[in-house]
Structure 1
Amino acid sequence: MPRVALSSPPLDPKVADLVPADPAVTTYDEEHIVTYLRLLDADAEGADWRDVSRILLHIDLDRAAGRARRAFESHLSRARWMTEQGYLHLLRGGV
């Protein structure tokens, strides 16, 4: 079987307000896998969502607190989905 070169995901991609709600892994998910891992780590450490939104998602809470909260919750939820279901799609070869 020929080897396929996998590209590395960006380390700090720009985030959308909401993640895709697709039942399969999307290109967005693959580009944000590092973000998802960082979110899961921050959640496991009990980090405050405001700090995570500011540092990890780069959203200014003074200007967009609602957006920051929605983006945080959306991305964390998708990160959890990736650990429960999405990873199977990646193991099969991804998008």
Structure 2
Amino acid sequence: MNKLKLLAISLLCDALGYVSLFFPLFDFIWAPLSAYLMTKLYKGKEGKIAAVISFIEEALPFLDVIPTFTLMWIYTYVLKTKTQNINA
């Protein structure tokens, strides 16, 4: 998947997380769905760890403001890439 398309999807998923600020019951649907989407968008061990973090972040009240999907995109395409370039 194109990294800019993945960024757009990540931003959309983070925006969906904000819905629960207005409709708190949305978390019951969104928390497990966000974890599932995280594993599909970001593969491997990192994606699974991010899915657990996403589930916890969405399930707990007042943590919805953390842009988990966008942070995972930054980790994958900015931080991890820089680290790989340094180690190469």
* TM-score of the pair, normalised by structure 1: 0.32
* TM-score of the pair, normalised by structure 2: 0.34
Greater C-alpha radius of gyration: 1
